[in-house]
Amino acid sequence: LVSRKWKVNRTAIDLGDGVLIGDGHFAMMAGPCSIEGEENIEKTIQHLKENDIKIMRGGVYKPRSSPYSFRGMGIDGLKLWYKAARENGIKIVTEVMQVSQIAEMYDYVDIYQVGARNTQNFNLLDELGKVDKPVMIKRGISGTIDELLYSAEYVFAGGNERLLLCERGIRTYEKASRNTFDINAIPILKEKTHLPVIADPSHGVGIRDYVEPVALAATVAGADGVIFEIHEKPEKAFSDGQQTLDFEESAKLIRKMRALKELE
């Protein structure tokens, strides 16, 4: 069902209010790794508005390698964020980690994100198949492209056709970067499926200085959007500060991506 053999025309995901992703609509999504509180939310929204970005990312349920790391503000954080986002015409993409959170989060999300650690949580995918909100599935930590497509197939087969796929790097033997961003995945996924393909250069490379070149490469490779981490003070971020752009770097990246899209 996610194959272009089944549907030749590309799928666009409509978030309402004129915000579309895919089929010629390039989307930028930016925000902190973790939602940290009111000030963090407000500063981020202000930056997004200044740069005409309509979709904000951020985790309130965080899958952390160590149980002692910051694990997110939970549903209360999401409610705070939602209120501020709606007042400013901003859409929300955020990670859902387990089945019970789907209903709890429903009123406050525009796109449910399935994280790389949950790509093959088939029960979660089954349940997201029953939801009438878009879902973005990230490629598994060591997942193949076909495995990502099968995960998408679960949601689609369950009845939810509003899906996005996200390349976020895979674990390889290379240790010079956090993950190895698989640029090949972009044209391959675009060839194989009709779904929008999003690039996450932040987790893909994991090093702040390299986020921009990887984001630009993915844009040229044909991604339908880029999702990246930003923070008013990356060195103070509660999570993933080492791969997070400050607002100046973010604005520069946004300008460059727009310039590349203009060339098409």
State the binding partner of 168 from ligand PEP, Mn ion, none, CB within 5 to 8 A by kind: ligand PEP
Residue 253: CB minimum distance to ligand PEP, A? 17
Which string of b and e fits 39-71 if b means at least 16 CB within 10 Å? Answer: ebbebbbebbeebebbbbbbbbbbeeeeeeeeb
The Cα–Cα gap between 59 and 57 comes to: 7
Residue 116, interface with ligand PEP (CB under 6 A)? yes
Residue 91, interface with ligand PEP (CB under 6 A)? no
* Region from 4-12, 188-196, 219-227, 234-242 binding Mn ion, contact rule CB under 5 A: 234-242
The Cα–Cα gap between 122 and 153 comes to: 11
Q: What's the residue count for the chain?
A: 264
Residue 72, interface with ligand PEP (CB under 6 A)? no
> Which residue among 2, 29, 33, 195 contacts Mn ion (CB under 5 A)?
33
Locate tokens 């981020």: which residue? 44
Residue 71, interface with ligand PEP (CB under 6 A)? no
Q: What is the pattern of x (binds ligand PEP, CB under 6 A) and - over residues 148-177? A: --------------------x---------
Burial class (CB in 10 A: 0-12, 13-18, 19+), 215: buried
State the binding partner of 110 from Mn ion, ligand PEP, none, CB within 5 to 8 A by kind: none
Compute CA distances 141 → 1, 46, 50, 180, 182, whole Å.
24, 32, 34, 10, 12
Note the residues at the interface with Mn ion (CB under 5 A): 33, 240
Note the residues at the interface with ligand PEP (CB under 6 A): 33, 59, 63, 115-117, 138, 168, 200, 203
